Structure 1
Amino acid sequence: MSTAAAAGGTTSVYDERPWLERYDRGQPHDIHPTFTDALQMFRAAVERSPDSDAVRYFDGRITYRELDEATDAFASALLADGFTRGERVGLFLQNIPQFVIALVGTWKAGGIAVLINPMNRERELELLLTDSGATVLVCLQSLHTDIAASVLPRTSVRTVVTTSELDFQSSDDPRAFASSVRRECPGTTDLLELLDHHRGCHPQAIGFATGDTAFLTYTSGTTGPPKGAMNTHGNVVFGSHVFRQWCDLDADDVVLGVAPLFHITGLIGHLTLAQLLGAPLVLLHRFEPALAIETIRSQRPTFTVGSVTVFIALMNCPEADREALSSLTKIWSGGAPIPPAVVTAFASTFGHYIHNIYGLTETTSATHAVPLSGSAPVDEASGALSVGPPVFNTVVRILDEQGRELPPGEIGEIVTSGPQVVPGYWNKPEESARALPGGRLHTGDVGYMDADGWFYIVDRKKDQINAAGYKVWPREVEDVLYEHDAVREAAVVGVRDPYRGETVKAFVSLRPGTEVSEDELIEFCRRRMAAYKYPRVIEFMAEIPKTASGKVLRRLLRDGTAS
């Protein structure tokens, strides 16, 4: 019973649940009969709704017809410059329309996009460009001036296209662009000039097989050097359909892009999903709570998916009220554990339930999700909020250290197989074979399945704390800390201790206008946890260090390099 697959896997544990009745129970669910690649999804949206908004960016609008023309021009420019099928294009951008143009335009030229975190510095950028062998880089003017220019001579990049976040909207909102200025970037081509020069050009139509790589998404590097997951066109199509059907979305929905587009959640749960639906994608450049609330109030988005830190920030924003977020009725959160206390508080504040969702870069987003009409159970023993059952066509096993399947309730490593799982890592056959033996992804996440088929993530295997022989999972301690009214964010790690080997240390940021002492918080936890679990040390920080996708950078906390 530790194998589970909703509507079409090897168990039937979900067959009687009403939220799965719309699927063919007992049979694999054929969710992409029409599309073999992501480019087909985009072209279908253009054909269905050419004059509908594809992208909304503050007061700017780009229709599907205009986006089709712009991506044709981008692809034509690449091809005129000698670009050949299978070459890689690096995207070093924030959540702006140019990201969408460059991604789809790369596909139209037969290329593979390389998604690069705009927070990366010189060493990290050079590593990704070198590893991917990218020959083209599209980047913000500021990132070219400050980061890329010094790196590019040591890479295979031969063409650089620069752009400004100030483009594609008519009035620069000072809150979104307080530090933005246009910059000269010698030796590069301006994107607007490139599009204008090739306007009206139409590259020869191409197609992809489902196994062709659509983009390389690099793992966050929280436990080691980043690896380029080869997300295929088949992975992308499947992942996009999962969101559409599991979250009950259609062309009347409006997608709010709060997750970074370079991250797998933003790529699938925002960008390609919107194109599958033929719906508008609302972009914010970078997430800023007050501006996001104003945008939600004016654009009336209905759906979003993002890290829990986004929703914590909205909840703590003075501009937030129930009416402002009234349209946002379909909310999912993934990328980092969701404390049950946050879900309860958000629902109390705004009237909307945050549905849990779980997946990885290597699974092209979701493998598990709480259905729209359901709510996640909380395990009484651990306090963990369920990430939901597996989505359709997905098989998930819980394995012990020897690779044996475990029964419900037993904790082990989560191992996943399905149409969303990548074939491997770019140019890393040994690591691919180790992480994906037989096409099954060994996630490195520890969890279990209950008797009803709901899955729970306990923590990362490498984050477990061994305190005097007792095993402590950071998430359980964090969930207790979140119950305190003064705690805004919390992260727990193990640190060296001469007596216990390791001891539990918590890093905490407080809500504005609140105060609590270290001793008070320690006592708060001591009254609610076993003696070996509660934190012995608490350090207060203004902000907990996180990746752009919202994952806590525990290694920085453990080694004392967090600032």
Structure 2
Amino acid sequence: MSYPDRPWLARYGAGRPADLTPDHGTMLDLLRASVARAPACEIIRYFDGVLTLAELDRASDALAAALLDRGFTAGDRLALYLQNNPAFVIGLLAAWKAGGIAVAINPMNKHRELTYLLADSGSTALLCLDELHADVVRAVIASGQTDVRLVITASAFDRQQRIDPRLFAHATKPVADDALDLETLLEQYAGRTPPPAAPEPDDVAVLTYTSGTTGVPKGALNTHRNLAFNAQTYRDWMALTPDDRVLGVAPLFHITGLVGHVGIALLTPCPLVLTHRFHPGVVLDAIREHRPTFTVAAITVFISLAGQPDATPEDFGSVRIAYSGGAPIAPAVRDRLRATTGLEIYNIYGLTETNSPSHAVPFGAAAPVDPASGALSIGVPVFSTVVRILGDDGAELPVGEVGEIAIRGPQVVPGYWNKPDATAESIPDGELRTGDVGFMDADGWFYLVDRKKDMINAAGYKIWPREVEDVLYAHPAVREAAVVGVPDAYRGETVKAFVSLLPGASATPAELVEYCRENMAAYKYPRTVELVDELPKTTTGKILRRELRGRT
């Protein structure tokens, strides 16, 4: 049962085809169409710095020309090892204009990880932050284990004058004699344009690496068609217009930032507000100053912003559309954020391999809560997307039964970089097997139960951590919660919860265990609770259960 026929779906167009206009076939087509329509649009706001579409177009032209002059050729890879700076967007567009592929790299990666990603992708050029060059890149290049021939550095201070001491420990720009400076290159090549690049829609635009939680990271082949389609999905699903302003809090190296921030801004076009990296106080100030109207972020970002001691509902008054992805939202958290910030936060669901959304709650609709599990729906399939629930044998399951979520649509990547076996296993015949477990109700709403690998087996009983976490989130003292399975001599595995408390709140581990015992079946409630100040997270805000398992 891939999608039931429900009259209300026509209102949102969910699961139905969305037309891609001819000028949006590739990301470069999308950019060129927007530059022609609105060259003076303030496309990036970075602290007190502003970059218009025309200026961004010229800067990326100049960098593309510089790359080509230094041996970059069609199909080469330019790695981007940056925070949320204007340099990331300039480098992304320059890679495409030079006929190449961008490789998005997490700036938190260290020597071993960066070496692997550069070598695996075969990157020949690298654009990185100057501080990362000094701390990591120089040694990686010196090791001789990569194909990188050209290193360009950018500063977090580029394109701004106001230096925020909460983010930047110093206000000086390191000079590297073994790398080129981005701003110097842009000055040298100002006015130069590369030969017109004409990628095909199915050409790879970006390699985005999976987190590697179940093995080495894999480079997803995010094509121009994938990215352009889901940029339009965001725009049309949320009814975004050039009057909107996007708050860029998701990392740009992550698929949410690439599509839900950069893609939207370039397509609409509308301003993208960047703040280098996430610092709740800095982001709150950016909201007050730039008055963004839309954002998509992990739920932990909203929790952190709402928890700022000086935050008020008026601060969030400009944000009319707020979506959360990356991790499920507990109904209690949604309700608490609505009460403290005035924000109505909608669920959205997707993966690196689906170029951000495959499901979303239609804007203006109320997501239902499953009465059996208490889970909040992740929404319905977006345009042109077919979703099935599969059993362990690969057969499609009926409505209401729990199984693996499988997705087919224009946003699904064709495969992984140089990994045909992994492609055949995870994306057989073009359908993505997500590894996420969920179900669909009789009205076509989908619910995420948990990651398949996170299931806890206690004396033969299956326990999904997400359900226990949702119960904990309903406790008035709980800020964040994560549940893992730990070894148990009698049950084989048992349930342990890690909990951080709201500022000023108090609760003992014994009280939280008792609260869960009173609100769920005996085999499910956590036998132990450990209180922590902060739960470990990825840079995108996902709570890292695997790190917590290592503490048990």
Aligned match of 2:68: 79
Aligned with residue 113 of structure 2, among 99, 121, 124: 124
- The question of 1:113 aligning with 2:102 is answered yes
Alpha-carbon offset, residue 180 of structure 1: 6.0
- The question of 1:478 aligning with 2:469 is answered yes
- The question of 1:534 aligning with 2:533 is answered no
Letter of the aligned partner of 2:258 in structure 1?
A: L
CA contact 2:300–2:542 (8 Å) conserved in 1: no
Alpha-carbon offset, residue 27 of structure 1: 5.9
CA contact 2:84–2:252 (8 Å) conserved in 1: yes
State the TM-score, normalized to the length of structure 2. 0.98
Written as runs of structure 1 = structure 2, the 5 A alignment for 1:312-461 is 312-461=303-452
Determine the C-alpha separation between the residues in 1 that align with 2:17 and 2:51: 37
Return closer, same or farther for 1:316/1:244 CA change in 2, 3 Å cut-off.
same
Letter of the aligned partner of 1:109 in structure 2?
A: A
Letter of the aligned partner of 1:525 in structure 2?
A: C
Aligned match of 1:8: none
Letter of the aligned partner of 1:12 in structure 2?
A: D
Determine the C-alpha separation between the residues in 2 that align with 1:19 and 1:101: 38
Determine the C-alpha separation between the residues in 1 that align with 2:227 and 2:319: 25
Aligned match of 2:93: 104
- The question of 1:12 aligning with 2:5 is answered yes
Determine the C-alpha separation between the residues in 2 that align with 1:26 and 1:406: 19
Return closer, same or farther for 1:193/1:176 CA change in 2, 3 Å cut-off.
same
Determine the C-alpha separation between the residues in 2 that align with 1:294 and 1:394: 38
Unaligned regions of 5+ residues in structure 2, if any? none
Match of 2:358, SS state, is strand
CA deviations over 1:240-283 (Å, ceiling 9, x no partner): 01000011111111000010000000000000111000100000
Determine the C-alpha separation between the residues in 1 that align with 2:500 and 2:187: 48
Report how many residues are paired: 550
CA deviations over 1:208-251 (Å, ceiling 9, x no partner): 11110000000012222110000000001101010000111111
Aligned match of 1:555: 546
CA contact 2:351–2:357 (8 Å) conserved in 1: yes
Determine the C-alpha separation between the residues in 1 that align with 2:390 and 2:52: 48
Unaligned regions of 5+ residues in structure 1, if any? 5-10
- The question of 1:29 aligning with 2:7 is answered no
Determine the C-alpha separation between the residues in 1 that align with 2:16 and 2:450: 32
CA contact 1:32–1:238 (8 Å) conserved in 2: no
Greater mean deviation of Cα atoms: 208-217 or 542-551: 542-551
CA deviations over 1:417-450 (Å, ceiling 9, x no partner): 0000000000000100110110000000000000
Alpha-carbon offset, residue 350 of structure 1: 2.0
Alpha-carbon offset, residue 309 of structure 1: 0.5
Alpha-carbon offset, residue 345 of structure 1: 0.9
CA contact 1:222–1:553 (8 Å) conserved in 2: no
Alpha-carbon offset, residue 496 of structure 1: 0.5
Return closer, same or farther for 1:553/1:415 CA change in 2, 3 Å cut-off.
same
Aligned match of 2:44: 55
Written as runs of structure 1 = structure 2, the 5 A alignment for 1:294-313 is 294-313=285-304
Alpha-carbon offset, residue 181 of structure 1: 4.3
- The question of 1:161 aligning with 2:152 is answered yes
Return closer, same or farther for 1:500/1:96 CA change in 2, 3 Å cut-off.
same
Return closer, same or farther for 1:26/1:145 CA change in 2, 3 Å cut-off.
closer
CA deviations over 1:258-316 (Å, ceiling 9, x no partner): 10000000000000111000100000111111221111111010000000000110111
Determine the C-alpha separation between the residues in 2 that align with 1:542 and 1:159: 42
Determine the C-alpha separation between the residues in 2 that align with 1:288 and 1:325: 16
Greater mean deviation of Cα atoms: 261-270 or 345-354: 345-354
CA contact 1:445–1:458 (8 Å) conserved in 2: yes
Aligned match of 1:90: 79
Aligned match of 2:189: 198
CA contact 1:465–1:471 (8 Å) conserved in 2: yes
Determine the C-alpha separation between the residues in 1 that align with 2:76 and 2:258: 20
CA deviations over 1:352-392 (Å, ceiling 9, x no partner): 21000000000011000001111211101111110101001
Match of 2:381, SS state, is coil
Letter of the aligned partner of 2:422 in structure 1?
A: E
Alpha-carbon offset, residue 26 of structure 1: 9.1
Aligned match of 1:41: 30
Alpha-carbon offset, residue 176 of structure 1: 2.8
Return closer, same or farther for 1:183/1:214 CA change in 2, 3 Å cut-off.
same
Letter of the aligned partner of 2:487 in structure 1?
A: R
Return closer, same or farther for 1:144/1:315 CA change in 2, 3 Å cut-off.
same
Measured on the aligned residues, the alpha-carbon RMSD in Å equals: 1.3
Aligned match of 1:522: 513
Letter of the aligned partner of 1:90 in structure 2?
A: A
CA deviations over 1:19-74 (Å, ceiling 9, x no partner): 32xx4x99632134432100111111111111110100010000111111100000
Determine the C-alpha separation between the residues in 2 that align with 1:62 and 1:371: 32
Alpha-carbon offset, residue 559 of structure 1: 2.2
Q: Identity over the aligned pairs, expressed in percent? A: 57
CA contact 2:163–2:171 (8 Å) conserved in 1: no
Aligned with residue 162 of structure 2, among 165, 171, 179: 171
Return closer, same or farther for 1:42/1:61 CA change in 2, 3 Å cut-off.
same
State the TM-score, normalized to the length of structure 1. 0.96
Letter of the aligned partner of 1:330 in structure 2?
A: I
Aligned match of 1:509: 500
Determine the C-alpha separation between the residues in 2 that align with 1:222 and 1:377: 31
Letter of the aligned partner of 2:513 in structure 1?
A: I
